[in-house]
Structure 1
Amino acid sequence: MLRWLLAVLGYFVYRFPGAIAGFLIGSLLDNISVRGKTFQTSFGSSKEQVTPADFELNLLSLASLVIKADGNVSQTELDYVRQYFVQAYGRDRANATFKVFNDVIKKREISAQSICSLLRQRTRYESRLQILHFLFSIGNADGSVSTSEVNEINRIAGFLGIYARDFESIKAMFFKNPDSAYKILEIDRTATTTEIKAAYRTMVKKYHPDKLQHMDEAHQKGGEEKFKKVQEAYGQLQKERGF
């Protein structure tokens, strides 16, 4: 297989580190092309299970759409994505993913609808919520999420099958305004104290970090950030309402 060939070649050029890098790159290329048609799984309609390499490349592709949404490719946002991938998958694996993306996928038109259709079929809803949080975090890496970035993320959320209230809840975590706490808890400003408490219990269950135990460390950390925002929103309303 290609992974072993590149591992051997990498060993002769850069010894053991080269072997590791070659194996990782070969694994990614094998996962992309083994089905007989390049990117059939990532961008087509194959019903086979998404491999880790497929997921990483799809996630990076969605990230690139958000980074380019406002027409300004921010180095801060690029650095955030790279750091996130290194934390989630390790430096060698992250570098291999970026190399495949830059060498192959980046040169093709990226279809958010095709990518999200695959992810929608093969990932849990709470995982897709975390993808949404990740995309907002990219936009916020340079200090604020632009309108064009919000629009692009909203488009992706629709393809991922994210409910409108869940989209608004996660969006509100990145915008400070008088209604933010209410939107995070997915309630209206007219909600009663009983309704606020009930909403908080519901959101705690929805965003509890334990629901992301199947994902890598960086995704779990993002889940903890969402959970913390829910707690902060509830605390704010407790203070405002005096209960």
Structure 2
Amino acid sequence: MKLIVLLIIAVILYFIARSYKTEKFANIKLDIKEKFEGDLMQHEAGLLVALMAKVAKADGEVCELEAQLLKHTLNDISRHFENQDEIREKLKDIYKKEKESFNNTLEICQNLYKLTKNNYQKRVKIMEYLLNLAFIDKDFSNTEFMITEDIAKALQIKTEDFQKLVNAFETFYKKQKEAEGISLEKAYEVLEARKDDDSNIIKKKYRTLVKKHHPDIIAGQGASQNIIDEATNKLQEINEAYEIIKKSRGE
């Protein structure tokens, strides 16, 4: 039952960092380790991984961010056990098996509910962790909403509490997207370009600005050290802007 400690720590790390970088879930240490040799599908650890498999595969594929989070989670959960190598392999097997079908999702939820029946807040934290996984690729699809909603109902989580969690994640990613949008807008401004310019025009403007602000060229013109330093900073800004624009265009 100590698995909830892992979940709580992970969620706390999220709120502290306000970011879903997978490394935030790594290196969680517990002083007391459990020895378990039974069926992990009767243990919170196995049931959690099974539900993670359902959520990760809900939209048809497991993205790289989801895969990384799953990898770190399996590592951190297995370190909770004395026989961690054995447990990790069993959890991997559970994940591989459970991502292939959604038919037993309700049964898994019912088993998890039995283990957490007297701890509502624990189930809310589990739900928060599953939503973290669903949102990590920044695209909370209708399918992901439906399966997480079904899980929440089966775990007897109040509708208002589930919606509150969803709203919190949506607000976070909306703000993050807005911040990225401002950054992209600034990048076009730095390159003296427009969003509807094609890639060749962007590249041409980038090269023109590099030649104009390259510190070696400025130095060769006999400029003072202060001007050279300003050119160095400007060139860095130009390079960063160009990388942001290329990334936004998938180049």
TM-score calculated relative to the size of structure 2: 0.46
